[in-house]
Chains A and B, each alone.
Chain A
């Protein structure tokens, strides 16, 4: 097939400057709600992670009240991260990409804003419910049923506006980021409604519940968040480097193989399920080596002449580090499902290391990269207010090293734990003591991420106040 027979865009083709400003302005309030709420939930969620982690230094820390017991605060941490930050950030960046790439104004900004308000309210109720002991108990799906209903309908409000925006696009050719955004928009309601119906409304019986909960958690992260993060990476790396994407065939290969095989898996090797289910998960996860290699090759070819430029731009720096972390996380997942490895690593800190790297290292960094680009532009497209570069650097390095410390500590600690667990001569108490060094080191990582988040929030607040001052001054001059 020649290039002409397959005329997809090879580079994110920018709309004319004036149109871009108008498009960004149409996204202003909805995106401010999605991103502002998202980063606040991320901060709170990471703070919960820090509290949970501190309990490994002293189990008596905050032990007297039921609200802060490890099991609840851990569930609240995951929930704030996945639903408070993950979904809104994915939706926000997705909506913006659909607008920019389709050269269309955002459809129904008011509807999106209503959806955002309900979503954030539901997350707040859900977190309080979890801390009060009303969680469902399913990992990654802890919010009680009355909250999932609100979440589902507010998601539909937001995502439908995205699909309408896509439908109204002026640019007929599609760029890979659009496939990824639409994939993530479409994936979430399906898995979320399946999990809500079959786990909460009409619970299935016995281990079927676990099967569905594992499938849901795996699809939520690998596909929904994975697609959203990759959409941003596919857009920003070529755009900010000023080079076309090397190959859209490779991008298509990565997209379809990830959709097909990335959605299988997430079930531990020794689970009490029929072995065909477990084996299909292993096969699917191993086959995600195809999208892994396709994405790696595509971006290497795109960027190999400009590797120095990757560090020059803040969006680019966050985005390419996110890409590298995605590749490492995907590789770890493939290695981790091989039966000989999973016998050692299942139920240890090894999968938790993967969780941290995927959600903080890949997803959050990709979203931050996008936010640093998008937020100033939708605030004022003619003269985007500037981020304070000192705070940006502090945020980047603290987050980067925080994630790296947590990841390496949990990875090494998890491997050691798995190897010792496999030898019955070590008692369980001995093994637990062995993992403590790693767990305590990961607290340092969490602390770095929290401090980095504080710098980011400060920067965000400064940016907003600078913008508001400017607007106010302008209005006063016009009035005078």
Chain B
């Protein structure tokens, strides 16, 4: 432990172990992942995932720029870890395939707000815009910060604009004014509503159908080698 070169050599080996197992190894396994047709359900030849539409891609930039990922995750954990699926945040766990077209990939690490991996299934663009402008308009007591800078307050000229937010008191603008989403807000809403992880892959099967209530056989959807639970 008194020789500088030996110290460096030791540190190099330790660093290399970590780098090989957390950077190179995963890259060798995941680096050339491609969209797949290998799915449990769906028409044969269907491919998953598909590229985001252009406005959603622009919205992802707004999502990144405003640090939305510091409060929202975009990942559904497996059924035996936490209650993500039982909460209705997804029908199956997230897999690497779900993020193939994301740039940057923002999985998030904290759930100050709910998970957004499948928020496109739960919300339409109008609801997203309302929540961006004033979260408490839809969820009383919400702690999400409002984003009024993504909107314009304008004097109504002639007929009210069709795109204006439908706000009720006490959040409505003064009479004669309307709140219109800016292009960034529209793009962000397009991104958020585009978020849904479907495509039932073999490593992430859909939930088994409850056999008791409907008469449909549960095996029709679940793969035959799915675990008992």
| Residue positions of A touching B, CB distance < 8 A | 6-8, 55-56, 59-60, 63-66, 69-72, 74-75, 133-139, 166-167, 172-174, 179, 182-183, 186-187, 190, 194, 198-199, 203-212, 215, 219, 248, 252, 256, 259-260, 263-264, 268-274, 277, 280-281, 339, 342-344, 346-349, 351-352, 421-424, 428-429, 432-433, 436
Contact = CB atoms under 8 A, between A and B. Distances in A.
Nearest to A60: B146
A343 B82 contact: yes
B87 A428 contact: yes
Nearest to B22: A215
Interface of B: 1-2, 4, 7-8, 10-12, 14-15, 17-19, 21-23, 25-27, 29-31, 33, 64-71, 73, 75, 77-78, 80-84, 86-87, 93-100, 102-114, 135-136, 139, 141-149
Given A71-B68, A182-B7, A205-B100, A64 B148 contact: yes
Given A190-B15, A272-B96, A206 B66 contact: no
A277 B149 CA distance: 41
Contacts of B105: 206-207, 209-210
Contact of A347 (B14, B73, B102, B103): B73
Nearest to A167: B4
Majority SS at the chain B contact face: loop
A216 B84 CA distance: 26
Contacts of B75: 270-272
Contacts of B81: 269-270, 339, 342-343, 346
Contacts of A69: 66-67, 145, 147, 149
Contact of A211 (B26, B98, B108): B26
Contact of A6 (B1, B69, B80, B106): B1
A207 B73 CA distance: 13
A76 to B, nearest CB: 9
B113 to A, nearest CB: 8
A263 B18 contact: yes
Given A137-B67, A206-B100, A208-B31, A63 B111 contact: no
A72 B22 contact: no
Most A-side CB within 10 Å, residue of B29, B70, B77, B147: B70
A206 B67 contact: no
Given A70-B67, A211-B22, A272 B93 contact: yes
24 contacts: A7-B2, A55-B143, A59-B135, A69-B145, A133-B65, A134-B65, A135-B65, A136-B64, A139-B109, A166-B4, A183-B11, A187-B15, A205-B30, A206-B102, A207-B30, A208-B26, A252-B1, A264-B18, A272-B75, A272-B96, A277-B25, A343-B80, A346-B81, A432-B142
Contacts of A281: 22
B73 A55 contact: no
Contacts of B142: 59, 429, 432
B64 A64 contact: no
Nearest to A267: B22
A272 B92 CA distance: 11
Given A59-B143, A204-B31, A207-B99, 18 more contacts: A55-B145, A59-B142, A63-B146, A179-B1, A186-B8, A190-B15, A205-B31, A209-B104, A252-B1, A272-B93, A272-B98, A273-B26, A342-B81, A352-B110, A424-B87, A428-B87, A432-B113, A432-B142
A311 to B, nearest CB: 32
Given A208-B31, A272-B99, A344-B82, A137 B111 contact: no
A70 B71 contact: yes
B100 A194 contact: no
A264 B22 contact: yes
Contacts of A137: 64, 67, 69, 104, 106
A128 to B, nearest CB: 14
A6 B71 CA distance: 51
A413 to B, nearest CB: 11
A133 to B, nearest CB: 3
Interface centre among A64, A70, A281, A348 (most CB of B within 10 A): A70
A429 B1 contact: no
A344 B147 CA distance: 31
A259 B14 contact: yes
Contacts of B106: 137-138
B143 A260 contact: no
A207 B107 contact: yes
A210 B69 CA distance: 12
A199 to B, nearest CB: 7
A72 B99 contact: no
B78 A59 contact: no
A352 B12 CA distance: 30
Nearest to B139: A429
Contacts of B113: 432
Contact of B19 (A133, A190, A271, A339): A190
Contacts of B111: 347-348, 421
A70 B145 contact: yes
B87 to A, nearest CB: 5
A172 B103 contact: no
Nearest to B69: A137
B11 A186 contact: yes
Contacts of B135: 59
